[in-house]
Amino acid sequence: MRDALRFLTTLPLRPAAGPPAPSSVRWFPLAGLVLGVTWALSYAATNLYLGPFVAAAVVLIADGMMTGGLHLDAFADVVDGVASRRPAEEAVRIMREPQVGAVGAAGLILACLLRVSLLVLAARAPVTLIAVPIAGRAAMALLLAGTETRQDGSLAMAFHRPGRRPALEAVGLAAVLTLAPAAVRTNPVPFAGLICLGAALVAALGYGWWWRGRFGALTGDGVGACGFVAETLALIVLGLQLDRV
């Protein structure tokens, strides 16, 4: 559990004696729960005084602080690699460059604008935001279970071959945790979390198929970008549900 929290959050935990165990992917949704509660509380508190637009921006800031911005950097790096149109190995080298290219930065800015627009809709039920990071972390666990990871210093190397069981346990735990907003009586979409989770898992399967065909083995950037994409799709699905109530 601590391995997952150390890897996916900036919580002040005791330093690990070694690399995280591959089986710790089963606890990825728990890290998502920590982030989801942060999203919901920061949104609700800010929206109360400053409105939904500022609240949406505060959620992005809080998320970046709680994750160390790893998924943001990963998404920008993957956009740079894809935009290069180079062969797989060259594209992966571009992703690993410390500088973010103009295309990667533009892609990240546009994606964050989309996320802000979708987060504005959460003003109708901020508690539903709890489910989105949970869904994103479950998607990462599923991706790691179904895709080979590079053994050349990539961050994904620590989670090489976690096995199907930890991934299935992660999905099961995510399903339970995404039901938490259903306990709030005023929630107009009590089962939205499960639908968001389903969308995120479909995104992970599609992303994994695309990555294997384009780049082969998985990198740390590939994992982080998958979580970002899955979260964004979950936000879109959540927005569609909230827009109907």
Q: Two tokens at 189?
A: 């979409």
CA 192/CA 145 separation, integer angstroms:
25
Query: Mind listing the pLDDT tens digit for each residue in 9-53?
Result: 888 877 665 566 777 889 999 999 999 999 999 999 999 999 999
CA 182/CA 131 separation, integer angstroms:
10
Q: Which residue would you say has higher pLDDT here, 160 or 96?
A: 96
Domain segments of the chain: what residues?
23-242
| Cβ atoms within 10 Å of 239's Cβ, excluding its own | 18
Cβ atoms of 195 and 233 within 8 Å: the answer is no
Band (119; pLDDT cuts 50, 70, 90): very high
pTM for the whole structure: 0.94
| Cβ atoms within 10 Å of 129's Cβ, excluding its own | 27
Query: Mind listing the pLDDT tens digit for each residue in 50-107?
Result: 999 999 999 999 999 999 998 999 999 999 999 999 999 999 999 999 889 999 999 9
Phi first, then psi: what are they for 149, rounded to 5°? -110, 150
Has residue 153 got a pLDDT over 90? no
Query: Mind listing the pLDDT tens digit for each residue in 3-15?
Result: 788 888 888 877 6
